[in-house]
Amino acid sequence: MFSEGQSMTHDDLIQMGLEGKDRALAEYDQILWKIRTGYAAVLYGVFTLVVSLGDSSQWGLSTERAGIVALVLTTGFTISIAALDFSFLCSKYRVVQAKEELVKLALLLASGTSLDNWTGTPLLTLLYNSGEGQAKVHWEGRPSRWPITLLYLGTWGPICLAIIIMVADK
């Protein structure tokens, strides 16, 4: 990109930072959808297993005990995957926030203002791997957390209810 002896400008650094943030956001989106689709596949696989536990002669577990095991596994799996999802979602939003600040800085510099007049996060910090940082996520400027929360509650609840109904029916 740069020849020997050619120095990088702040504009070059910001451009590279923005490109890197775009790549990171695409990767976070891929990871999040893998987590979510994997969760659904495994959760409904567990439900299929629970249905097969209806024939307790093959498993040696009473129906009640099998139901309790299924509820514990389903609940624990849902909590751990939801925590993992929210962790990656926070990382993604840290990248979004850093990218938004880099855009503001680029606009400031494009208007002819000096970097010395920048009052936001220091450029060096904005160029770091912001997804892995500890910056606070400003949720007020982000999409609601409810759709993701409902994804997990909306799959966990019916599965648990179905398990309870199956156990109560025996």
Q: One digit per residue, pLDDT tens: the chain, 170 residues? A: 556 667 888 899 999 999 999 999 999 999 999 999 999 888 888 777 766 766 655 666 677 787 888 889 889 999 999 999 999 999 999 999 999 999 999 999 999 999 999 999 999 999 999 998 888 998 888 888 888 999 999 989 998 898 888 878 76
pTM greater than the 0.85 cutoff = no
- For the CA atoms of 52, 58, 61, 67, the dihedral, rounded to the nearest 10 degrees, stands at 0
Measured CA to CA, the distance from residue 170 to residue 161 in angstroms comes to 15
| Residues near 162 by beta carbon (within 8 Å), at least 6 away in sequence | 47, 50
- The residue among 35, 45, 52 whose CA lies nearest residue 73 is 45
Q: Tell me, what's the pLDDT at 29?
A: 96
Q: Tell me, what's the pLDDT at 64?
A: 79
Q: Tell me, what's the pLDDT at 7?
A: 84
114 burial type by CB count under 10 A (0-12 exposed, 13-18 middle, 19+ buried): exposed
- The residue among 81, 82, 91 whose CA lies nearest residue 24 is 91
- Max distance between CA atoms of the chain, in angstroms, equals 79
Measured CA to CA, the distance from residue 52 to residue 66 in angstroms comes to 10
| Residues near 156 by beta carbon (within 8 Å), at least 6 away in sequence | 43, 74, 75, 78
Quote the Cα angle for 40-90-88, to 5°. Answer: 40
* Sign of the Cα pseudo-torsion (17, 20, 26, 29, in order): negative
